[in-house]
Amino acid sequence: MSEKSFEKSLAELEKIVEKMEEGGLSLSESLSLFENGVKLARFLREELDKAEKKIAILLKDEQGGVTEEPFSLSDEDGEKGDSESEENPSSGSDEGLPF
């Protein structure tokens, strides 16, 4: 069996969902697609869990602790909700920094 990739598995799952949403499948075909979809979904969940664990390791501080912060798209755009740290970048507080 060839190595699965996250992207190929996700694309395959999307195709299965489209086929099932179209309808017109026999019960046997539907069950087969559903079973394959469940297997793909489990694989994708495992891959996401692995990636999350790797990220947590990369973000550990010197004491081994990880500070969880919610992901926000506004951070990517340069908009930060913490205006105090923006106004005074040399405040000496390294709290929340991954390194």
- Tell me, what CATH number does 12's domain have? 1.10.287
Predicted local distance difference test score (pLDDT) of residue 65: 72
Chain position carrying tokens 């390294």: 94
Q: Does the residue 50 lie in any domain?
A: yes
Q: Does the residue 36 lie in any domain?
A: yes
Q: pLDDT below 50 — which residues of the chain?
A: 1, 75-94, 97-99
Alpha helix positions (H), the chain: 6-22, 27-58, 73-76, 83-87
Predicted local distance difference test score (pLDDT) of residue 12: 97
Predicted local distance difference test score (pLDDT) of residue 52: 87
pTM tops 0.85, yes or no: no
Q: Does the residue 85 lie in any domain?
A: no
Structural domain boundaries, residue 12: 7-60
Q: Does the residue 65 lie in any domain?
A: no
Distance of CA 29 to the CA centre of its chain: 30
Predicted local distance difference test score (pLDDT) of residue 84: 45
Q: Do 71 and 40 form a contact (C-beta atoms < 8 A)?
A: no
Q: Do 74 and 47 form a contact (C-beta atoms < 8 A)?
A: no
Q: Does the residue 32 lie in any domain?
A: yes
The domain tally of the chain equals 1
Structure tokens at 50: 């692995």
Enumerate residues 6+ apart whose C-beta is below 8 A from 40: 9, 10, 12, 13, 16
